[in-house]
Amino acid sequence: MKTVILGGGLTGLSAAQYLSKKEKGIVILEKGDRLGGLAGGFKKPNWNWELERTYHHIFRNDEAILQLSKEIGHNPFVFSNPITASLFGERNNYRIFPVDSPKDFLFLPELSLFSKIRAGFTVVFLKLSPHFTWYEKVTSAAFLKKTMGGEVWGVLWEQLFKKKFGKYAEHILSSFIWARIHKRTQGLGYPTRGFQSFVDTLAQSNREAGVSIFTSTTINSVQKKDGVYEIKTVNNKGESKIFTADRIISTLPYPISCAVMKDVLGEEYIKEQSSRKYLFAINLIVKTKQPILPSVYWLNIGAKDVPIMCIVQHTNFVDSKEYGGEKLCYIAWYVDENSELLQMDEKQVLQFVLPHLRSISPHLQEIPEVVGFFKAPYAQPIFDTEFVSISRSFMTPAHNIYVANMDMTYPYDRGTNYAVQLGKDVSNFIINNT
Ligand SMILES: Cc1cc2nc3c(=O)[nH]c(=O)nc-3n(C[C@H](O)[C@H](O)[C@H](O)COP(=O)(O)OP(=O)(O)OC[C@H]3O[C@@H](n4cnc5c(N)ncnc54)[C@H](O)[C@@H]3O)c2cc1C
């Protein structure tokens, strides 16, 4: 049985890792020149470590990725407690307060004691409760307003939801907030040498198990001929190549899976899947001599008049000595297809954010230098009522074609840990059902 896995991100590589324990003849096709997809990285000549194109960390209870890391013998993940905080207030009066621990919350001056007590009870409830089906019947906004109250919604949540989900902010199901709070741990982990190094160790382990990996190989279409799937690809030199498969596992987002496999998946399936909604992720990475945020790693932007979702001072989490002493900072957004930011180049985006960075961090005198600028489509699925009404099965109407992608980690928002678990789950599903 020859299996071709579409996509060489963490789901594809993990699926190959676990399937290759039982089967031979596995091939991975990846369009990027490197593996890793959304968790992939890049490296400047003077850096020792790779840096992710979009900020990444894991939680202490991310067991699937920690277990896989041990299995493949990757250098361990290192855990620490960097400061996470929120920006409150308005221009000329911004205030930054840590929001990570119950103690931070208790001392937060932005809320009344009554609101804090209400919010505290709700957090305990979400931490302890299983994922009730009624979490899918009510939105996060309605749930939080009702349980924590209007003050907490307005001060703590409203802007975070608007900045993460844009026009969909009020439609996100309460399963999302359940998963966020239920799973959250205080310590954050990072793989030694970066996530790209973890990806490369996993790919090496795949290869040692006999998996063939082709990068710079874009899948254009899939057809069935004489009972065998033909996968038409083109490489970065424009050369075409056809791969054959008895079985396909697509880890591509639904819109891409449906586009390339439209001839085999059938109209009904494609029509159903086409109503999913996603946002793009945009990350600008800059370097400065002095950190933009002096001590905070992660800053949620809760201030209404700052058009940024979060600022992540990576080198307050991972030592800047691994990046030639450069202080590296991500400025990040999720946007829909109509966003002006998508039309801008890195210089324009820097000009756009600079006044805001200066008003948040008045000590910032130098002009930051851009070291990376990345836009990723299908980066944030929208978990609304429609989302849960559409099937998310590994099985498709086409014989021996399986789909395992980021939408399937629901109710958990995407994550490297869930990508690893998903790869394992789809390979177990196939092993147990064939
Ligand atoms: C802004 C942002 C921040 C994040 N932060 C974190 C974090 O802090 N911690 C965490 O754990 N997770 C984080 N994640 C999530 C994590 O990166 C993803 O959940 C995970 O990497 C998804 O892996 P995947 O393999 O399912 O998908 P992908 O990584 O999207 O892999 C799909 C692969 O398919 C390839 N592909 C697409 N089209 C084609 C084609 N036509 N032909 C061939 N190949 C194709 C792509 O190049 C890609 O490599 C973040 C994601 C984003 C966007």
What amino acid is encoded at 118 in this protein? R
Mutate to test the pocket of ligand 1, among 414, 418, 426 (most ligand atoms within 8 A of CB): 414
Q: Which fold has domain 3-48+195-275+385-433?
A: FAD/NAD(P)-binding domain (3.50.50)
Q: Give the Å distances, CA to CA, from 378 to 74, 79, 141, 337.
A: 29, 29, 23, 10
> Are 321 and 327 a contacting pair, CB within 8 Å?
no
The SS3 assignment for 426 reads: helix
Q: How far is the CA of 392 from the centre of ligand 1 (A)?
A: 18
Q: How far is the CA of 404 from the centre of ligand 1 (A)?
A: 12
- In this structure, what token pair is assigned to residue 80? 């620490």
> Are 329 and 285 a contacting pair, CB within 8 Å?
yes
Element (H, E) at 22: none
Element (H, E) at 195: helix 195-208
pLDDT at residue number 102: 86
User: What residue spans define the domains of the chain?
Assistant: 3-48+195-275+385-433, 51-100+186-192+278-381, 108-162+171-178
Distance of alpha carbon 321 from alpha carbon 266, whole angstroms: 53
Distance of alpha carbon 378 from alpha carbon 356, whole angstroms: 27
Q: What angle do CA 373, 374, 375 make, to 5 degrees?
A: 135
Residue 222 pairs with which residues in a beta bridge? Answer: 231
What amino acid is encoded at 369 in this protein? E
Q: Give the Å distances, CA to CA, from 22 to 25, 99, 210.
A: 11, 46, 11
Q: Does domain 51-100+186-192+278-381 have CATH number 3.90.660.20?
A: yes
Reading the chain (434 residues) residue by residue, the pLDDT tens digits are: 999 999 999 999 999 999 999 999 999 999 999 999 999 999 999 999 999 999 999 999 999 999 999 999 998 899 999 999 999 999 889 999 998 888 898 999 999 999 999 999 999 999 999 999 999 999 999 999 999 999 999 999 999 999 999 999 999 999 999 999 999 888 999 999 999 999 999 999 999 999 999 999 999 999 999 999 999 999 999 999 999 999 999 999 999 999 999 999 999 999 999 999 999 999 999 999 999 999 999 999 999 999 999 999 999 999 999 999 999 999 999 999 999 999 999 999 999 999 999 999 999 999 999 999 999 999 999 999 999 999 999 999 999 999 999 999 999 999 999 999 999 999 999 999 98
- Nearest ligand 1 atom to the CA of 256 is 38
- In this structure, what token pair is assigned to residue 340? 């002006």
Alpha-carbon Rg for the chain, nearest whole angstrom, is 22
